[in-house]
Structure 1
Amino acid sequence: MMLRKATAALLLASCALPAAAQPGPAPAPQSAPATPPRLIVAISVDQFSGDLFSEYRPYYEGGLKRLAADGVSFPRGYQSHAATETCPGHSTILTGSRPSRTGIIANTWFDLKTGRQDKAVYCAEDETQPGTNSGDYVASPVHLRVPTLGGRMKAAHPATRVVSVAGKDRAAIMMGGPTADQVWWLTSKGYVSYKGVAVPPLIAKVNDVFAQRLAQPSAGFDLPPQCAAKDFPVAVGGGKTVGTGRFAREAGDYKVFRASPEQDALTLALAAAVIDDMALGRQAQTDIISIGLSATDYVGHTYGTEGTESCIQVERLDRELGAFFDKLDKSGIDYVVVLTADHGGHDLPERHRQNAMPMESRVDEALTPKALSAAVGAKTGLSGRKLIWGDGPMGDLYFDLSLTPKQRAAVEAETLKILRAHPQVETVFTKAQIAATPSPSGPPESWSLLQMARASFDAERSGDLLLLLKPRITPIVDPTKGYVATHGSPWDTDRRVPILFWRKGLRHFEQPLGVETADILPTLAALIGLPVPKGEIDGRCLDLIAGEGDSCAGAR
């Protein structure tokens, strides 16, 4: 029998989260609240693109309906920078700053000066820890160069409680910041935190429930009516197909659990339990909890964004958010919600080609750093050496430091020649070009590629070249060995995300023009009367009051 009850209730009945039901009618619009909310709930739905949000909007009946239909909706939000990856995107949401200021330019960058053998640096690791590497690391917020909203709130009011929970470490760390009271993320062993942090009773209880649930097989989920048209297989090669899944899994299969609605349900149930356990929102000051819902991203990578898997995931997300908001309503807490995403996503080219897009393709293996290094070596007489470092067939490329100035010039010239002649390459920028470009301003939808690149640029961490592929090129060479679809491009499929606010008493309106995720911090700060110097952030306050009045008045 398919699962018909709310996953959250099954996973955490002991934490008193009710079954996901249709939420009651949202309170009728009133005058804008005059007092600060007591709790900020900041939700990031990983890989929840503006396209995905809009596609299923007619079917929302739960939490997403409340936010989209009864809240203040900015459907054309932007992760405005070029490096549309998880870590950079999460670093913008609660800092008010673009990656060029946060320092989080990618999920992984390269430090060729480091003494360790592994030159890759994961955005949420402390690479100075002995014996670690970018795949086996000590998690840390050390690379985040700016304070989060929670950090600013705590600096102004030390009694403020700051909590961050997520399905990924980088989501929890980048939204919580270095001064958070509690930071938890999901692993195959349950929720964990920084090295040496003791596990409190509530987390231990949640982890026990998770272990029990994971140990049981799952038959998966029913197919909602709106998903029926998507129920057809798509072959990606090697006998692998996607597009018809229901998230059935065997007992103990964490990989399938992680890439399913079960993961988000567990994280939302944990968030609800933490709010109760810590009495967040019940003190004189405003508290904040950030929630990173990671399943949509794992689903998008594993199955693509247009099959039954993604359709079911969004439907369950809507339900679970509805149950979560219902619980908050019943608590009587005065809370404000913001929901957005760290980036968008692009469906796999094999399905796009079946659905009217024959030009869709996968990236040529010749554009991978390994192949580029070999090709450039053959042309420059430097064969047998690793000349170019990079994390994949797009993004930052780094030239080896052992090259002499003459060799480096030859390598750069030949690399540029190869890349600019390749039919899948849109453009290549040099480090000097990007560094000489002023930080962008104005509507994010009107920025040039160079301005987008500048918004992701850090002089210390960025590469010597930035490779940007043309639209509709998926930067995964072989989908049979792992993920089938991805993101990371400067195109709107990956940059555009919804930004939704809700608070009891706010009158609904929708603003279709572009805004940035960097605008979230100053918008929330204005609601709680927290001053933020404009020179310290990139975002601007968004007025959440429909008609007359200005929720940003004190911030201007």
Structure 2
Amino acid sequence: MLRKVATALLLATAIPATAQTTPPKLIVAISVDQFSADLFSEYRQYYSGGLKRLTQGVVFPKGYQSHAATETCPGHSTILTGSRPSRTGIIANTWFDLSTAREDKAVYCAEDESQPGSNSGNYVASPIHLKVPTLGGRMKIANPATRVVSVAGKDRAAIMMGGPTADQTWWIGGAQGFVSYKGVATPPLVAKINEAFAARLAQPNAGFDLPQQCMAKDFPVAIGAGKSVGTGRFARAAGDFKAFRASPEQDAMTLVLAAGAIESMALGKQAQTDIISIGLSATDYVGHTYGTEGTESCIQIDRLDRELGAFFDRLDKDGIDYAVVLTADHGGHDLPERHRENAMPMENRVDAALTPKALSATIGAMTGLSGKTLIWGDGPAGDLYIDKGLTAAQRAKVEAETLKLLRAHPQVEAAFTKAQIAAVPSPSGPPESWSLLQEARASFDPARSGDILLLLKPRITPIVDPTKGYVATHGSPWDYDRRVPILFWRKGLTHFEQPLGVETVDIMPTLAALIGLPVPKSEIDGRCLDLVAGEGSSCPAQ
């Protein structure tokens, strides 16, 4: 009997020791687009699949995409680089280059604008704007045998997490299924999955059952013009790709490709550690299309939990020693119409007068410079660019009048100049304590950022009319858009939860430490997070 007890104790201690000291054979880095810390915690008690497994690992429920520009491209650029947008150069989904000769002055973050015919809406995809290496890129430098794979629902997710040296980079390019860079041949695996993709899309979907936890959310919210959201089940007609994209079906297909890539390439089954990044984009499309608090979002999180559970079970059956990190590129905010029905009467939509087109017209009339575009921007918040064709005196006048107008507007929290932001040191310390100016500095690139940064007050949704497109969004400097969960899991890793704030830029050095890959501190903004509960550390000695 004593011998059996001793053996059991030995086995119990051996598993955590392996998880702490032996590098995993495969890193699985998952980003769930628009999976806010609020959304994570709201449904946490109902998890029974993959998300439940991850909550049994090391949990940081208060992670931060610490910068101000909480958009998809900047957020994904932080996760596997260890660097904030000020270092990655990915300051937004779209910025403006007013010196370019092409008619379209907007530059998409994953676009090679030098390619003939490329523009921000119909572009040649490229990682050229990412200024720093990803973890996969660093792993390949250390050991060229490392395989780096990136798959996602969006090109910017796959590209920013995989980096320019990934062996395989795939994203959903439309109804045709998964695509890659221009000129990349489609391997048999992807061709086979695209056939399954087409077959699934060709069939109608009757919708998903409503889980018990979603019942209380089952009521319509009117958003104007006879349109409402809040009661959907993701029923769609055959061939409706737009509905497919904004549903759990999209994530299911992305995980099918990820699992297939792991199996066909034998990732995690050779001497070196491999890495696969997975961008699950459906939660974002659902949040934009229906909001974050209706039956649609509730069903999406339930299906995400189930699909992740099946994915991890498949890896378990293959006997792979893998480590997982799951986080998000940004948070999200529900539509103001539902917020107003649920105890938040102060919620509102942005004044159309704050759109760049309206601002340009108003400032033109005020300065006598009407008849041309004075102010460029991607929407009624974020970076604003002043026309470079103006004289120095005209530019100064336009800037002064724009700042005066913005700072007097009741929906504007702050309007910072480029000089103001540039003068602030790169922020440090707990991300929850940063000022708005520090958050802005973490998103600032002197060559790409605008002349003025417009930040709206909290609870102002930067969508003027919800009947003409998306109903809800993100992108603000407020915590509902900045806070995301950061979850680490590996078999044998002892569970603990740290409620204090950490950053998504801490993920890369934490994973690098797990595989013994040195990363110079001067090259990144993040720090290694110790994943060992109690004594001992998974981080290198300081």
Could you list the runs of 5+ residues in structure 1 that have no partner in the other structure?
1-26
1:235-262 Cα distance to aligned partner (Å, 9 max, x none): 0011110000000000000000000000
Structure-1 separation of matches of 2:160 and 2:117: 24
Matches within 5 A, 1:52-131: 52-68=39-55, 70-131=56-117
Choose the corresponding residue for 1:181, options 146, 163, 167.
167
Task: Indicate if the aligned counterparts of 1:281 and 1:287 stay in contact, CA closer than 8 A.
Answer: yes
CA drift at 1:384: 1.2
The residue identity in structure 2 corresponding to 1:102 is: T
Matches within 5 A, 1:122-521: 122-187=108-173, 188-521=175-508
Choose the corresponding residue for 2:24, options 37, 43, 53.
37
Structure-2 separation of matches of 1:418 and 1:348: 27
The residue identity in structure 1 corresponding to 2:204 is: P
1:340-398 Cα distance to aligned partner (Å, 9 max, x none): 00000000000000000000000000000000001101110111111000000000000
Structure-1 separation of matches of 2:15 and 2:400: 61
Structure 2 residue 516 is matched with structure 1 residue 529: yes
The residue identity in structure 2 corresponding to 1:474 is: T
CA drift at 1:505: 1.1
The residue identity in structure 2 corresponding to 1:308 is: T
Structure-1 separation of matches of 2:418 and 2:271: 49
1:433-482 Cα distance to aligned partner (Å, 9 max, x none): 00000000000000000000000000000000000000000000000000
Identity rate of aligned residues, in percent?
83
TM normalised by structure 1 equals 0.94
Task: Indicate if the aligned counterparts of 1:100 and 1:458 stay in contact, CA closer than 8 A.
Answer: yes
Task: Indicate if the aligned counterparts of 1:76 and 1:499 stay in contact, CA closer than 8 A.
Answer: yes
CA drift at 1:526: 0.3
Structure-1 separation of matches of 2:404 and 2:20: 59
TM normalised by structure 2 equals 0.97
1:492-541 Cα distance to aligned partner (Å, 9 max, x none): 00000000000011100000000000000000000000000000000000
The residue identity in structure 2 corresponding to 1:326 is: D
1:274-320 Cα distance to aligned partner (Å, 9 max, x none): 10000000010000000000000000000000000000000000000
1:93-119 Cα distance to aligned partner (Å, 9 max, x none): 000000000000000000001111000
Structure-1 separation of matches of 2:251 and 2:493: 27
CA drift at 1:29: 6.7
Q: Helix, strand or coil: the match of 2:326?
A: strand
Structure-1 separation of matches of 2:250 and 2:402: 42
1:30-59 Cα distance to aligned partner (Å, 9 max, x none): 334321000000000000000000000000
The residue identity in structure 1 corresponding to 2:490 is: R
Q: Helix, strand or coil: the match of 2:16?
A: coil
Task: Indicate if the aligned counterparts of 2:20 and 2:532 stay in contact, CA closer than 8 A.
Answer: no
* Equivalent residue number for residue 6 of structure 1: none
CA drift at 1:553: 2.6
Structure-1 separation of matches of 2:226 and 2:112: 40
Structure 1 residue ranges (4+ consecutive) displaced by more than 6 angstroms after TM superposition: none
Task: Indicate if the aligned counterparts of 1:424 and 1:469 stay in contact, CA closer than 8 A.
Answer: yes
Task: Indicate if the aligned counterparts of 1:29 and 1:508 stay in contact, CA closer than 8 A.
Answer: no
Structure-2 separation of matches of 1:101 and 1:505: 35
1:73-108 Cα distance to aligned partner (Å, 9 max, x none): 000000000000000000000000000000000000
CA drift at 1:132: 1.4
